[in-house]
């Protein structure tokens, strides 16, 4: 980098670089913090490869947008839920849309003695989710804040960061154009077709991720 001669009269080049770096107009490429490598693999190698942390983030809200039930939105999480519940961390499921069929969860490796379900509706469900995320004792918290606005999601994200807990928010596909504070957003469409909509620390890949729901028939 060549310094213009007129400007080098009274300050050293190092000082000038320092002033230049303080200029708010300057854009620097490595601005975003690099996510620490995760030790929670998703169970899907193709997804691990794409995510900046190499797995689920340690303490953040993950938003999963899905267009219909039964596309494998839950089997995406079952490996991490199995790992967390085997590590004797409580997994809290707040206001599930259907009845969780325990034998299938158990078959996927989730330990039922560490799976807790919460019955709540509307505001109470959001409150329960936030409390569970903030408490810091849970392994993962799952919720279906379908109607939640940006503000509510931000609260959940802050709670997940405070409590160092992994949170999953299932949301309808119609929310994909709204901004969201969640550092990781995935979409699951008919097909099933899995895409990363947003991931903090890396550019989301343009192509879909090959994803086959793990279900033995």
CB of 204 vs another protein, minimal distance in Å = 22
| Member of 16, 54, 111, 201 binding another protein (CB under 8 A) | 111
Neighbours of 99 (CB within 10 A): 7
Q: How many Å separate Cα 169 from the centre of its chain? A: 8
Give the β-pairing of 193-199 and 184-189: antiparallel
User: Considering the rule CB under 8 A, would residue 141 count as an interface residue with another protein?
Assistant: no
Residues 66-85 that bind another protein (CB under 8 A): 67-75, 78
* x-or-dash string of contact with another protein, 174-203, rule CB under 8 A: ----------------xxx-----------
User: Considering the rule CB under 8 A, would residue 43 count as an interface residue with another protein?
Assistant: no
Three-class SS state of 210: coil
| Member of 117, 158, 197, 208 binding another protein (CB under 8 A) | 117
CB of 15 vs another protein, minimal distance in Å = 41
CA distance 69 to 205: 24
CB of 59 vs another protein, minimal distance in Å = 9
Q: Which helix (H) or strand (E) holds 165?
A: none
Query: Which of 89, 185 has the CB closer to another protein?
Result: 89
Q: Specify burial of residue 168 (Cβ count, 10 A radius: 0-12, 13-18, 19+).
A: buried
Closest CA to 201 of 189, 177, 183, 174: 183
| Member of 163, 180, 183, 211 binding another protein (CB under 8 A) | 163
Sequence-distant (≥ 6) Cβ neighbours of residue 193 within 8 angstroms: 208, 211
Is the Cβ–Cβ distance between 188 and 64 less than 8 Å? yes
Query: Which of 24, 70 has the CB closer to another protein?
Result: 70
User: Considering the rule CB under 8 A, would residue 104 count as an interface residue with another protein?
Assistant: yes
**Where along the sequence are the contacts to another protein (CB under 8 A)?**
67-75, 78, 90, 96-108, 111-113, 115-120, 124, 127-128, 131-132, 135-138, 162-164, 190-192, 213, 215-217
């Amino acid at each position: 980098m060549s310094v213009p001669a007129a400007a080098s009269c009274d300050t050293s080049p190092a000082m000038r670089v320092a002033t230049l770096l303080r200029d708010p107009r300057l854009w620097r490429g490595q601005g975003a913090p690099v996510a620490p490598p995760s030790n929670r693999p998703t169970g899907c190698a193709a997804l691990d490869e794409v995510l900046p942390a190499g797995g689920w983030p340690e303490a953040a809200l993950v938003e999963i947008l899905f267009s219909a039930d039964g596309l494998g939105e839950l089997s995406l999480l079952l490996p991490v839920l199995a790992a967390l519940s085997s590590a004797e961390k409580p997994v809290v499921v707040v206001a599930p849309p259907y009845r969780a069929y325990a034998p299938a969860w158990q078959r996927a490796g989730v330990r039922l003695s560490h799976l807790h379900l919460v019955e709540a509706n509307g505001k109470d469900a959001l409150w329960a989710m936030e409390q569970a995320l903030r408490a810091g004792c849970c392994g993962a918290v799952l919720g279906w804040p379908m109607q939640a606005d940006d503000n509510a999601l931000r609260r959940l994200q802050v709670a997940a960061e405070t409590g160092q807990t992994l949170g999953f928010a299932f949301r309808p596909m119609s929310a994909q154009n709204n901004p969201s504070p969640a550092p990781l957003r995935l979409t699951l469409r008919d097909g099933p077709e899995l895409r990363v909509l947003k991931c903090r620390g890396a550019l989301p890949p343009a192509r879909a991720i090959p994803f086959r729901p793990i279900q033995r028939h």
